[in-house]
Amino acid sequence: MTPIQHKIARRKALDRFFAFEGLMVMTAALLVLLVLVGQLMFDGLSRLSWQFLTSFPSRFPAQAGIVSAWVGTILVMLVTAMAAIPLGVGAAIYLEEYAPKNWATELIEINIANLAGVPSIVYGLMALGLLVYQFRLGQSFLTAGLTLGMLILPMVIIATREAIRAVPPYVREAAYALGATKWQTVRDHVVPYSMGGMLTGMILALSRAVGETAPLITVGALSFIAFLPHPPWQDNFPYVSFQWLFDPFTVMPIQMFNWVSRPQEEFHVNAAAAGLILLTMTVVMNAVAIVIRARFRKRIHW
């Protein structure tokens, strides 16, 4: 071997070593995840049944179910989305397109980034003081949804700003050059072209909120609810009802937490089964995010 070939061989060996190392690290990470999911399935799969999905909690593990928990999770997520998305998107559009670049804007931006890192229990304490005691919203779906909404608001703002920033400046300039106002440019171009990124960010933020437990315990989630909230409709005008907003709530992770902390082994099986359902919910949400991103990417390529 000539000296040059020798050097190439050594560098290629390093190449192969790194590829191997990368593969190992990735496998290790995936294995841990696989073991966790496998354990959950091993424990809980046998308990999954129609009865489990449609029954209320019970003192008897075999009769207990998660209907109030999954209905609760969906309703809380609905309130969370209604609260966080309009506020977050509005704030992001303002910060990216309208806000003057000065120290006040900078201060707000730094604080939003910091808020995204605040422990969720702190949001719980704040919500307890503000929403439950001050505004007297009760230990209700409304309180729970607003609490999680505040929790994910910074994430929605950050994701939306990233999506808006991905719209190249020359597209904005094209609109302005035709005489468009700022609002016309935002409405007709910036928002539609960044919709894919925005929706992805929102769904990912919501899928984080789905698993939140601590702040909801703080604001007073019940772990034993043997009835469904009021239906969102009524028989007479105006036919929609918001009574359910003020009903007591529970959500999936709280139901799980409650079951895990009981001494009976059978309740632990219930918790694992509920965990599988919760996992499925997050996987579905993430899958929807991926599909949305792919669809918008296909339509718009810069």
Prior bond to 238 cis, omega within 30?
yes
Nearer to another protein, 123 or 296 (CB): 296
**Residue of 90, 100, 84, 297 lying closest to 186 (CA atoms):** 90
Q: Rule CB under 8 A: choose which of 108, 175, 195, 285 binds another protein.
A: 175
293 binds another protein (CB under 8 A): no
Q: How far is the CB of 299 from another protein (least distance, A)?
A: 7
Nearer of residues 178 and 240 to another protein, judged by Cβ: 178
Q: Is 292 in the site for another protein (CB under 8 A)?
A: no
Whether the Cβ atoms of residue 188 and residue 178 lie closer than 8 Å to each other = no
Residue 177 is inside which H or E element, if any?
Answer: helix 169-177
Judged by CB under 8 A, does residue 179 bind another protein?
Answer: yes
Across 258-291, b (16+ Cβ under 10 Å) vs e yields: bbeeeeeeebbbbbbbbbbbbbebeeebeeebee
Closer Cβ to another protein, 12 or 299, answer by number: 299
Task: Give 193's contacts (C-beta < 8 A, 6+ positions apart).
Answer: 167, 171, 300
Among 60, 103, 170, 239, binds another protein (CB under 8 A): 170
Size of the site for another protein (CB under 8 A): 23
> Which position among 52, 141, 193, 259 is part of the footprint of another protein (CB under 8 A)?
193
User: Of 48 and 180, which CB lies nearer to another protein in the complex structure?
Assistant: 180
The reply on whether position 189 binds another protein by CB under 8 A is: yes
* Chain residues 76-105 in contact with another protein, contact rule CB under 8 A: 100-101
For the chain, the farthest-separated pair of C-alpha atoms sits apart, in whole angstroms, at: 91
Smallest gap from Cβ 185 to another protein, in A, equals 9
Contact 65, 259 (CB under 8 A): no
Sequence-ordered strand ranges (E) for 125-251: none
**3 state DSSP class of 233:** strand
Q: Does 263 bind another protein (CB under 8 A)?
A: no
In the complex, the smallest distance separating the C-beta of residue 296 from another protein, rounded to whole angstroms, is 10
Is the separation of the CB atoms in 193 and 97 below 8 Å? no
Specify the DSSP class assigned to residue 246.
G
Residues that bind another protein (CB under 8 A): 100-101, 168, 170-181, 184, 188-189, 193, 299-302
